[in-house]
Amino acid sequence: MTARPDKYCPIARTLEVVGERWTLLILRDLVLDGPRKFQDLEQSLAGISPNTLSARLKILEDSGIVERRFYSDHPPRAEYLITPKGRELRPVLKTLKRWGERHTRP
């Protein structure tokens, strides 16, 4: 078998963006709970460092999967929400959920 260069594999290319546990858990929160503030996500994703959360959100924003929206100008306050492009990844979460329900236990 020859190598399958990442750039020519759409699965690998998608995983460049979302192939990381925290990233998929951020998507989970935004899909299940709607728009969230940074602090909401930090609290929900117990154990994530602010730096990691910030970096993951940046990747998701740059990829057009998540949008940052200001809901107050003074003081500036932002929240994150999933975009239509991000919503297309919902079947991933659905499959992970069903699999977890069938094959893992709390």
CA angle 79, 83, 87 (to 5 degrees): 125
Torsion of CA 66, 67, 69, 75, to 10 degrees: 70
Binding-residue total with a second copy (CB under 8 A):
52
Interaction residues for a second copy, span 26-65 (CB under 8 A): 28-29, 33, 36, 40, 43-44, 46, 63-64
Q: Shortest distance, CB of residue 60 to a second copy, whole angstroms? A: 13
Q: Which two tokens stand for residue 5?
A: 């260069």
Does 87 participate in binding a second copy (rule CB under 8 A)? no
Helix 50-62 × helix 10-18 angle, to 10°: 140
The reply to whether 9 sits near a second copy by the rule CB under 8 A is: yes
Q: Which stretch binds a second copy (CB under 8 A): 16-24, 51-59, 74-82?
A: 16-24
